[in-house]
Amino acid sequence: MSALQSVSDQRHFSVTMPRADDFDFWRDQARRLVRCGIAPERVIWSEPGGSGDLFSASAPESEELPTPQDDAPQTRASKRFVSVAQNAILHSDPERFALLYRLLWRLQSHPRIMEDKADSDVRRIEDLAKSVRRDSHKMHAFVRFREVLHEDGAEHFVAWFEPDHHIVRANAGFFKRRFANMHWSILTPKGCIHWDGKTVRESPPAQRSDAPDGDPTEDLWRKYYASIFNPARLKVGAMMSEMPKKYWKNMPEAELIPELIAGAQSREAQMVDAGAMEHEARPETLEAMERAVQACRNCGIGELANQAVMGEGPRDAPLMIVGEQPGHQEDQTGRPFVGPAGQLLDLHLGQAGIARDRAYITNAVKHFKYVRRGKRRIHQTPTAKEVDTCRWWVEAEREVVKPKLILALGASAARAMLGKTVSINTVRGKPVMLNDGSELWITAHPSYLLRLDGDARAQQEQLFRNDLLAVRERLAELAD
Amino acid sequence: MGPLSTIEKLGILADAAKYDASCASSGTAKKNSLGGKGIGSTEGMGICHAYAPDGRCISLLKILLTNHCIFDCHYCINRKSSNVRRARFTPQEVADLTISFYKRNYIEGLFLSSGIIKSSNFTMEQMVEAARILREECDFRGYIHLKTIPEADPELVHQAGLYADRVSINVELPTRKGLTRLAPDKDASQIEGAMGKVKSDIIEAKDAKKRFKHAPRFAPAGQSTQMIIGADAASDSDIVGRASKLYGGFGLRRVYYSAFSPIPDASAVLPLKRPPLIREHRLYQSDWLMRFYGYQVRDVQQAMGKDGNLPLDIDPKLAWALKFRSVFPLDVNRAPREQLLRVPGLGVTAVNRIIAARRHRTLRLDEVGKLTVSIAKVRPFICAADWRPTALTDRADLRKMLAPKQEQLELFAA
């Protein structure tokens, strides 16, 4: 090196890159300069078409790059340097070529310099490479293809993207591997790439207006974007740091963001309200409950019925019988179990030796739910949600009456006691212990028996009788 | 009311999926569509194609096959007794949507979950069918995550693993007691049984792959699970303990924590208020400490308060460091890697940089500053060539000094 130094000490050299992202060209030139011993401060690097270095105007006339002597040592670079440099050279900072050359120069005497993360040149180059990686990653993520019909009738997908750095060519491979069987083009202000299923082609920079401006699928995508967002978890900062605003203008879903944010609080409030039931304190007497339940509109059934039908019976009854809901006649009279099902129940209670007037009889749901057919009102089974809503009233009744045993008639009544739906056949005939120490027995609803005929009816009536007999026996034990 | 259009169904079935925390699409086997007929690639690292204003990334088309459900889990919007609008996709519709979104580069693939219709087996068959159409008919080579149903036939779960990159089975709640109370139709033993089966299927498939080149892949991105936080009384200590057993016992890739969020039409058994979102964040931080920083469950539990919960105002690493001040300060020029990883404010990257740099120089404080995100948090816990915190480490108000200031976020700052 020393022989050369003597002749070229004061000379400056200028290198103009043929392309902003041409790593191979830079590497060839840089190797040659190092081998000729030309120090970094004597080389001026410039981009194609760019003004290059600030001092280039005042720099002395540059000369042809010298040819290194055959015995000049080979240039050395660590693997880490090469991989970082390949990324960093794609950065839009005009200083990058000079910075890379300075590091390469220093690497000749300090081969492990890349490991020294506290060195300012190393930090700077790593930072450049990092921004390029991020920009590439965002390109993989935020390119949005739009379908256009090609003259040949084939599907063609075109995207418009605005990268910060010279990353388009370097990322063609990613899109080729992912969309190998699709014809696509990615247009950018830094150059375009195209894939026809066989080869990648490049073309000069494009403008936004060259790209299509819509795709019907975008409505679906926007619907998805708006629906998958949970307004109860608004975290705008987290979104902005990963999806900076500069990318928004080319992403069809981003136009929804201001509206989604603005509406989030009220949507969350609605979600909470829809789930909430603001109850006042529970009435402490059955009379107060009777008055309050008439006004209850926690679900829609109350709007249908004439009146709410509360339970009736002694307020210290050891047995509480819970049915499903009042029917037509109950709604007319305001008393539970006075219709056909009530009469059948009375019959069976009598046969089993259970005194109806010693029991507190009520329903899981307090209003009559029906649909009107002409003049008739046809019974509708309350939904689980309605049963759960009305549970509040049955629980209030239970708190006052404090029965030792509860007999639930049918699945809705069982749900009102347990908070979940059970199958009658698997739970009947044995007690279920409730949290307050009372026992729950579950059997069929008498209206179910009314709907059966023949053998089926006889069989079910027998099961029903057995359940009532077991309840009577258990009541006797509990009374002791 | 006529049949729902695709866009209406999408609205309902994406809305129903928004409570699911997972959207990851990384860590699977590499594939691309060169030489095939369809599309798609996975290159190891997942890509987040968009971010929602809730800060969560959108990497997959995350939808339910249907939100009809015969189960009645109290915390779930789709439970049988909920009044929510119902919809149902066919497996073909799911595949078509996935492909048309994928072709426009909106997504990395599909994350399919479902309410239970007819029976667990029927539902699982439908989900597997959607994946089959994508893989076999569309030659789709992107990412597929199937949420499997623990009550379904193990053979169907096995099928799911052959088509999917990842399968997950939700443990739902951190404790068995919570599960019994809030998910009456679910059974903890069955859930763990299904996880155990998936684990052994994964191990078997990996083993076969070593011996036969053409052995079928089985869930190359592993299995994950999700538990709901704040719907029952489980403490952070219970949660972290459970997570660690799941990682150890079933070789899970990830445990997701999903803060219970108020759902419309909530069951009366649930709290109406959501737990603070920051709690979920603290749990993820502690998960991180255990997976990447060498903390044991016991370490994380030691950082908790008397009530068994992590402090909300500071992160678990700082909480641990403040409790064990005698360990600090550590000399950045001498301390081994595992000790440096315990310094609040030093992440894995910063520690790697410090270790690489100190082969070349003795680090001063300002040089450490160049290698970390913020030196202020780190300072009290380290010594450098020109720095000794002396009194700082022992200050009584150190916690107050280091706890982040409460800030109002500016929504649209340029």
Range(s) of the domain holding residue B83: 6-229
pLDDT in tens, A202-232: 999 999 999 998 899 999 999 999 999 988 8
Measured CA to CA, the distance from residue B159 to residue B124 in angstroms comes to 10
Q: How confident is the model at residue B266 (pLDDT cuts 50, 70, 90)?
A: low
Range(s) of the domain holding residue A153: 143-210
Residue B15 lies inside a defined structural domain of this protein? yes
pLDDT in tens, B341-352: 999 999 999 999
Chain A residues with CB inside 8 Å of B55's CB?
Answer: 233-239
pLDDT of residue A57: 47
**Is residue B130 a contact partner of residue B94, using CB atoms and an 8 Å limit?**
yes
User: Is A201 strand, coil or helix?
Assistant: strand
Q: Among A178, A251, A282, pick the best mutation site for testing chain B contact (most B Cβ within 10 A).
A: A178
Measured CA to CA, the distance from residue B362 to residue B374 in angstroms comes to 20
pLDDT of residue A75: 92
pLDDT in tens, A20-37: 999 999 999 999 999 999
Question: Do A225 and A204 share a structural domain?
Answer: no
Q: Which of A349, A320, A323 is nearest to A467 (CA)?
A: A349
pLDDT in tens, A344-377: 999 999 999 999 999 999 999 999 999 888 888 8
Question: Do A54 and A180 share a structural domain?
Answer: no
Identify the domain boundary among B229, B244, B262.
B229
CB contact under 8 A, A117 and B274: no
Question: Do A180 and A117 share a structural domain?
Answer: no
Measured CA to CA, the distance from residue A345 to residue A292 in angstroms comes to 28
Neighbours of B242 (CB within 10 A): 20
CB contact under 8 A, B52 and A384: no
Identify the domain boundary among A160, A185, A210.
A210
CB contact under 8 A, A179 and B33: yes
Residue A46 lies inside a defined structural domain of this protein? yes
Question: Do B201 and B87 share a structural domain?
Answer: yes
Question: Do A233 and A348 share a structural domain?
Answer: no
Mean pLDDT of B162-191: 90
Q: How confident is the model at residue B159 (pLDDT cuts 50, 70, 90)?
A: very high
- Mean pLDDT over all residues of chain B? 89
The mean-pLDDT minimum among A297-306, B66-75, B123-132 falls in A297-306
DSSP summary character for residue A357: G
CB contact under 8 A, A115 and B360: yes
Q: Which of A308, A299, A304, A281 is nearest to A389 (CA)?
A: A299
Q: Is A55 exposed, middle or buried (0-12, 13-18, 19+ CB in 10 A)?
A: exposed
Question: Do A467 and A339 share a structural domain?
Answer: yes
pLDDT exceeds cutoff 60 at B370? yes
- Domain count within chain A: 4
Mean pLDDT of A276-297: 75
Question: Do A228 and A198 share a structural domain?
Answer: no
- Transcribe B213-280 into DSSP letters: TTPPP--TT-EEEEEEESSS---HHHHHHHHHHHHHHH--SEEEEEE----TT--TTS-SSPPPHHHH
CB contact under 8 A, A229 and B19: no
H, E, C per residue of A138-191: HHHHHCCCEEEECCCCCEEEEEECCCCCCCCHHHHHHHHHHCCCCEEEEECCCC
pLDDT of residue A276: 52
CB contact under 8 A, A420 and B184: yes
CB contact under 8 A, B367 and A118: yes
A203, containing H or E segment? strand A200-203
Q: Looking at the complex, does the CB of residue B408 fall below 8 Å from at least one CB of chain A?
A: no
Q: Is the pTM of this model over 0.80?
A: no
Share of chain B above pLDDT 90, in %: 61
Q: Among A115, A117, A299, pick the best mutation site for testing chain B contact (most B Cβ within 10 A).
A: A117
- Domain count within chain B: 2
Residue A280 lies inside a defined structural domain of this protein? no
Q: How confident is the model at residue A52 (pLDDT cuts 50, 70, 90)?
A: very low
Identify the domain boundary among B194, B229, B264.
B229
Q: Is A319 left (phi over 0), alpha (psi -120 to 50) or beta?
A: beta
Q: What is the C-alpha end-to-end distance of chain B, expressed in Å?
A: 46
Chain B residues with CB inside 8 Å of A270's CB?
Answer: 264
Chain A residues with CB inside 8 Å of B270's CB?
Answer: 275
pLDDT exceeds cutoff 60 at A143? yes
pLDDT of residue A58: 46
Q: How confident is the model at residue B392 (pLDDT cuts 50, 70, 90)?
A: low
Q: How confident is the model at residue A413 (pLDDT cuts 50, 70, 90)?
A: very high
CB contact under 8 A, A274 and B356: no
Cα–Cα separations (whole angstroms), residue A121 to A118, A124, A127, B352, B403: 9, 5, 10, 18, 34
pLDDT of residue B53: 92
Question: Do B149 and B44 share a structural domain?
Answer: yes
Domain containing B131 — which CATH number? 3.20.20
Domain containing A329 — which CATH number? 3.40.470.10
Inter-chain contacts counted by CB atoms under 8 A, chains A and B: 223
Q: List b or e across A92-101, with b for residues whose CB sees 16 or more CB atoms inside 10 angstroms.
A: bebebbbbbb
Chain A residues with CB inside 8 Å of B17's CB?
Answer: 228
Q: How confident is the model at residue A243 (pLDDT cuts 50, 70, 90)?
A: very high
Question: Do A171 and A108 share a structural domain?
Answer: no
Backbone φ, ψ for residue B148 (5° rounding) = -90, 160
Q: How confident is the model at residue B282 (pLDDT cuts 50, 70, 90)?
A: very high
pLDDT in tens, B286-341: 999 999 999 999 999 999 999 999 998 899 999 999 999 888 899 999 999 999 99
Q: What's at B233, amino acid-wise?
A: A
Measured CA to CA, the distance from residue A446 to residue A344 in angstroms comes to 7
Residue B272 lies inside a defined structural domain of this protein? no
Residue A264 lies inside a defined structural domain of this protein? yes
Q: What's at A82, amino acid-wise?
A: V
**Residue with the larger pLDDT of the pair A54 and B307:** B307
- Mean pLDDT over all residues of chain A? 88
**Residue with the larger pLDDT of the pair A457 and A279:** A457
Q: Looking at the complex, does the CB of residue B396 fall below 8 Å from at least one CB of chain A?
A: no
Question: Do B166 and B17 share a structural domain?
Answer: yes
Residue B99 lies inside a defined structural domain of this protein? yes
Identify the domain boundary among B161, B195, B229.
B229
pLDDT of residue A139: 97
Question: Do A402 and A321 share a structural domain?
Answer: yes
pLDDT exceeds cutoff 60 at B182? yes
Q: Looking at the complex, does the CB of residue B181 fall below 8 Å from at least one CB of chain A?
A: no
pLDDT exceeds cutoff 80 at A455? yes
Backbone φ, ψ for residue A141 (5° rounding) = -85, -45
Q: How confident is the model at residue B268 (pLDDT cuts 50, 70, 90)?
A: low
pLDDT of residue A2: 47
Q: Among A138, A221, A224, A365, pick the best mutation site for testing chain B contact (most B Cβ within 10 A).
A: A224
Mean pLDDT of A241-249: 92
CA of A392 vs chain B CAs: smallest distance (Å): 10
B292, containing H or E segment? helix B277-292
